[in-house]
């Protein structure tokens, strides 16, 4: 099989072509593969090219190092805060990329070995197949810093069972690999040590036929069982509290539950909620609720407007203070 590395000098994203298989590697391991404008344009370029290429049948995407992707490059947003709409183009292109991934015509497999957060997780969840491991950590923590869940997550989280979407979006709670599969945010759980072998097998499979790809992954995947203390076993409390109309009512209801025996896990979550940007929480709650009634395209349009207005500090400057507190 001829191996061609495309544009090896543009190393933030490496694209490889192996007969009928195409591999994308997010390649900023020291920065947890965060998504910069360069990453967005390269991802878009490869995916558009390969969708048109009749030779390309199967697309694999993975991250170098211990992370899959920790999400958007916060430094890029912070540094652009003083020049008007400096991030407009990258935001627009990222959301367009999100839509493209959801509607992609070739079989895509995400191999998610580690951290997969925020916008980074938008390269995992919509894939036909998303393979996670015992080291995978998922979260959408944007609301806490005065931002909102974006990259299509106001749509994806709002369609989770009950009010789990509100819970994940407002608290930024982390899910592990097993929880992701049970929640329907990933398709298969494979032990980390077997991931390189699975990748080799998919490359040698050399076809994009969904049934063949699925059968190959299932040779490596394990049936998952939730840990007893998993947040997904707290459905009743989550649905009771996070179905309330406002953030204030959600917090009040959560406080009532926290005082009951056996609910010690709520304390730290509540503390995090109260430390979060009130504006970020309100915007996120409304966005998730609207996402339930919207198509993906409508949700992404709404998210684009929200992002630009947040970055323009039309509503509040919380986002820049949130980023500064997190990164400095």
| Confidence at residue 83, expressed as pLDDT on a 0 to 100 scale | 86
Known catalytic membership, residue 79: no
Cα 265 from Cα 195, distance rounded (Å): 32
pTM beyond 0.85: the answer is yes
Give the number of C-alpha atoms closer than 13 A to the C-alpha of residue 113, restricted to the C-beta side: 19
Q: Find the catalytic residue in 17, 73, 150, 318.
A: 150
pLDDT of 7 above 70: no
Q: Are 216 and 58 in contact (CB under 8 A)?
A: no
Poorest-pLDDT segment among 5-9, 12-16, 74-78: 5-9
Residue 313: left if φ>0, alpha if ψ -120 to 50, beta else—which one?
left
Identify the active-site residue in 72, 118, 172, 177.
72
Domains in the chain: ranges and CATH: 13-327 (3.90.226.10)
Among 17, 73, 142, 179, the one annotated catalytic:
142
Token representation of residue 165: 């979407």
15 is catalytic: no
Distance CA 34, CA 198 (A): 25
Report the mean per-residue pLDDT for the chain. 95
Query: 179-207 burial, b for 16+ CB within 10 Å, e for fewer?
Result: bbbbbebbbbbbeeebbeebbeebbebeb
Reply yes or no on whether 166 is catalytic. no
- The order of strands in the sheet holding 58-63 is 3-6, 13-18, 21-26, 58-63, 107-112, 129-132, 188-189
Measured between alpha carbons, how far is 47 from 41 in angstroms, rounded to an integer? Answer: 10
Which structure tokens are listed for 75? 């430094």
Q: Is residue 236 predicted with pLDDT exceeding 80?
A: yes
pLDDT for residue 240 is more than 90: yes
Read off the pLDDT band of 122 (50, 70, 90): very high
pLDDT recorded at residue 244: 98
Give the residue-averaged pLDDT of 298-302: 98
pLDDT for the residue 215: 98
Reported as a single tens digit per residue, the pLDDT across 144-196 is: 999 999 999 999 999 999 999 999 999 999 999 999 999 999 999 999 999 99
As a dihedral over the C-alpha atoms of residue 311, residue 315, residue 319, residue 321, rounded to 10 degrees, the angle is: 120
**Selected catalytic residue, list 63, 71, 118, 119:** 119
| Residue 1 in this model has a pLDDT that exceeds 80 | no
Higher pLDDT, 185 or 75: 185
In this structure, are strands 188-189 and 129-132 parallel, antiparallel, or unpaired? parallel
Q: Give mean pLDDT, residues 48-52.
A: 98
16 is catalytic: no
Residue 293's CB: how many other CB atoms inside 10 A?
Answer: 9
pLDDT band at 4 (very low <50, low <70, confident <90, very high): very low
CA 49 to chain CA centroid, Å, is 23
Residue 130's alpha-carbon distances to 40, 126, 275, 303, in angstroms, are 20, 8, 33, 24
């Amino acid at each position: 099989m001829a191996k061609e590395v495309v544009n090896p000098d543009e190393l933030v994203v490496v694209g490889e072509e192996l007969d009928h298989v195409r591999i994308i590697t997010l390649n900023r391991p020291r920065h947890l593969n965060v998504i910069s404008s360069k990453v967005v344009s390269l991802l878009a370029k490869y995916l558009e090219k390969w969708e048109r290429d009749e030779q390309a049948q199967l697309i694999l995407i993975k991250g170098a190092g211990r992370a899959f992707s920790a999400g958007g490059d916060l430094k890029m947003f912070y540094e652009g805060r003083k020049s008007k709409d400096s991030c407009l183009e990258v935001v627009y292109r990222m959301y367009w990329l999100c839509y493209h991934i959801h509607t992609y015509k070739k079989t895509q497999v995400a191999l998610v070995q580690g951290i997969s957060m925020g916008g980074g997780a938008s390269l995992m969840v919509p894939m036909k197949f998303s393979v996670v491991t015992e080291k995978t950590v998922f979260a959408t923590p944007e609301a806490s810093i005065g931002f909102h869940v974006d990259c299509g997550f106001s749509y994806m989280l709002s369609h989770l069972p009950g009010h789990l979407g509100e819970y994940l979006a407002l608290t930024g709670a982390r899910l592990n690999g097993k929880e992701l599969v049970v929640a329907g945010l990933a398709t298969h759980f494979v032990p980390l040590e077997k991931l390189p072998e699975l990748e080799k097998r998919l490359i040698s499979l050399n076809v994009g036929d969904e049934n063949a790809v699925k059968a190959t992954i299932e040779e490596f995947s394990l049936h998952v069982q939730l840990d007893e203390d998993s947040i997904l076993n707290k459905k009743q409390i989550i649905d009771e509290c996070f179905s309330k109309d406002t953030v204030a009512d959600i917090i009040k209801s959560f406080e009532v539950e926290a005082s009951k025996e056996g609910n010690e896990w709520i304390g730290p979550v509540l503390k995090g909620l109260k430390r979060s940007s009130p504006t970020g929480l309100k915007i996120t709650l409304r966005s998730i609720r609207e996402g339930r009634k919207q198509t993906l395209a409508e949700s992404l349009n709404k998210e684009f407007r929200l992002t630009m207005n947040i970055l323009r500090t039309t509503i509040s400057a919380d986002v820049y203070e949130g980023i500064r507190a997190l990164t400095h």
